[in-house]
Structure 1
């Protein structure tokens, strides 16, 4: 259930803008998806020019992109914990961003105050993405205008234990949603995550209270992780035809 939308040029502008948030010596969370891929390439170009960073990949795909870009990688457990360096900044994409508030101009970029709650998981990597993004001191989201919405309303990806598929689907129905097993595109059968689990895409219509739904899904037995990222994003860099618009929480 990968999302489509803005042009590659818009995604590239967003990725390159977010890459500038990375400082020398940082540990960087490296997100998954087409827009995050542009950020990884831009960080790699800065590494080639002398930037000293270490990356933490959020998926097999982001790991492969980081290695191609020449970014040194470390495991998550190497940089988290009481005596570890921690993650300084995570750069990741989103399938949808809830935007509130009013536009205002601040220098060259428009600044928008909003909730910036997200739906992620179109690439099926949201369990590890949430681990990395929530552990970061600063979480920067990259997106194009097609991902913005006044209220979240996309289907929420939910990673479930294979044996719990029916139980979770029933719990989703009880919460007012409808769960659909995500099918693979180039083979028979379902999508299997990097963790060996299944994905349910759960449609609830508009989600006016994502925090409440997040708690319901998180408390459902059999759910490993869901794609609602509530209160995590610090900034969203939106690539447009003219440049980059920065949204701040």
Structure 2
């Protein structure tokens, strides 16, 4: 129940609940991956069951697809949708220009494809995800398994000339084995501390052979919905140049709070 939620989970919940209001009947909606996006999927599922909301969702990972089906959302592929009205997803970090680091959950490739195939991208986050400069959260870089050590060496060599504070790279693991994405790739996590020029770094990384995609989302996000533990929600619209604040009351709901395992 909501009374049992931690402040951080309350912040994620109110951000997700507020962002769910952007979804209208007939829309094709990209559904993000991660703990905050999972709250969104639960909220939308409740709106489908209780309010009769009718939309089709395009998940950005297999686990999001499973949760969406579980809560009653109609799931289709991006190929079926062709183009999306809206994508709502979380972020590991965002800055004042609404640039993002994503990919902590390992779904950055599908997330970026879905987000850029949408008329609008809305990011939901708790206030702790806002940073002055990106880079405190390790930057995920998805690489093909073939020759990944050579790709890693090339990345490390390139970082020497980039405006970053740290240059450590690690292969993401799943127990004793490398973490494998839904596309069968590996992820290098770049521990950069601070990224001085995210746009330049994103372009340089994606020019490297072996690199599939990086977790920098530049000029993709349109709105950030920032949740706070006391129920306050802040909406920042980069296109309109507006910042508005709202407050949501917590509503007890067994349907939403019965599964907190993500």
For Structure 1 versus Structure 2, the TM-score category normalised by the shorter chain is: 0.7 to 0.9
Whether 1:210 aligns to 2:207 is no
TM-score by length of 2: 0.82
Q: Give distance in 2, aligned partners of 1:89 and 1:164.
A: 36
Deviation at 1:119, TM superposition (A): 0.3
Aligned-pair RMSD on alpha carbons?
A: 1.3
Structure 2 stretches lacking a partner, 5+ long: 1-5, 160-166, 239-262
Correspondence for 1:95? 92
Structure 1 stretches lacking a partner, 5+ long: 81-85, 100-114
Correspondence for 1:147? 129
Q: Give distance in 2, aligned partners of 1:10 and 1:137.
A: 26
Correspondence for 1:182? 172
Deviation at 1:164, TM superposition (A): 2.9
Correspondence for 1:57? 59
The 8 Å contact of residues 156 and 201 in structure 1, kept in 2 or not, is answered as yes
Correspondence for 1:116? 98
Correspondence for 1:173? 156
Matched length: 223
Q: Which runs of 4+ in 1 moved over 6 A?
A: none
Deviations 1:3-22 (A, max 9, x none): xx961111000111111111
Counting only pairs closer than 5 Å after superposition, residues 1-249 of structure 1 correspond to structure 2 as: 7-48=8-49, 49-80=51-82, 86-99=83-96, 115-153=97-135, 154-176=137-159, 177-184=167-174, 187-242=175-230, 243-249=232-238
TM-score by length of 1: 0.87
Deviation at 1:172, TM superposition (A): 1.7
Q: Give distance in 2, aligned partners of 1:164 and 1:70.
A: 42
Q: Give distance in 2, aligned partners of 1:223 and 1:78.
A: 27
Deviations 1:26-76 (A, max 9, x none): 000000000001111111111112111000010011101101110001111
